[in-house]
A and B are shown apart, each in its own frame.
Chain A
Amino acid sequence: MRHNAVDEWSRGSSALHRRAPASKLIAAAVFLVVVATAHHHLPLLACGWLGLLLWVTLAARLPLGGILSRGAVVLPFSAVFALLSWMEGAPGIAVALILKSYLSALAVLLLVATTPLPELVRSLEAARVPRFLLTVVQFLYRYIFVVVEEAAHMRTAAAARGGLTFRAAADALAVLFARSFARAEAIHRAMIARGFDGHFRPLARRRFAPPDAVFLVLASALPLLVRTVGEVLL
Chain B
Amino acid sequence: MHIPDGFLSTPVWATLDALALPATGFAARAAQRGFDESKAPLLGVMGAFIFAAQMINFPVGMGTSGHLVGGALLACTLGPAPASVVMTAILAIQAFVFQDGGVLALGPNVLNMAVAGVLAGYLPYHLWGGGRFRRAAIFAGGVLSVLASAVLALSELLLSGVRMPPSVLAVSLGLFLVSALLEGAITMAVVSALERIQPGFVRQPASAPALLLGGLGLFAVLLAAGGVVFASTAPDGIDSLAIRSGIAKPLAAYGSGASVAGVVLIFLLLLAGGRMMRRRSA
CB contact under 8 A between A84 and B4, given known A155-B56, A178-B201: no
* Tally of B interface residues using CB under 8 Å: 71
B282 within 8 A of A: no
Contacts of A151 in B (CB 8 A): 52-53, 55-56
- Residues of B45-97 at the interface with A, using a CB-CB cut-off of 8 Å, are 45-49, 51-53, 55-60, 68, 77, 85-86, 88-90, 92-93, 95-97
A73: shortest Cβ distance to chain B, in Å? 5
A85 near B52 with CB under 8 A, answer: no
A191 near B41 with CB under 8 A, answer: yes
Q: Is chain B's interface secondary structure helix, strand, loop, or mixed overall?
A: helix
B52 near A36 with CB under 8 A, answer: no
Contacts of A163 in B (CB 8 A): 59
In the assembly, what is the distance between CA of A164 and CA of B60, in Å?
Answer: 11
Give residues in A with beta carbon < 8 Å to B. Answer: 4, 6, 28-29, 32-33, 35-37, 70-71, 73-74, 77-78, 81, 84-85, 87-90, 93, 96-97, 99-105, 108-109, 111-112, 117, 120, 130, 132-133, 135-144, 146-148, 150-152, 154-155, 163-167, 169-178, 180-181, 183-185, 187-188, 191-192, 196-199
Over the window 198-239 of chain B, the binary record of Cβ atoms lying under 8 Å from chain A Cβ atoms (1 yes, 0 no) is 100100000000000000000000000000000000000000
Contacts of A166 in B (CB 8 A): 58-60, 185, 189
- List 8 extra interface pairs beyond A4-B97, A97-B7, CB under 8 A: A77-B4, A81-B7, A96-B6, A133-B28, A140-B90, A148-B52, A164-B58, A198-B38
In the assembly, what is the distance between CA of A167 and CA of B77, in Å?
Answer: 20
Closest Cβ neighbor of B8 among chain A residues: A36
Q: List 27 A-B contacts (CB under 8 A).
A: A6-B97, A32-B103, A33-B104, A73-B100, A81-B7, A81-B162, A84-B162, A97-B6, A108-B99, A132-B31, A136-B89, A139-B41, A139-B47, A140-B43, A140-B51, A143-B48, A144-B51, A155-B57, A164-B57, A169-B59, A173-B186, A173-B190, A176-B49, A177-B53, A180-B46, A197-B38, A198-B38
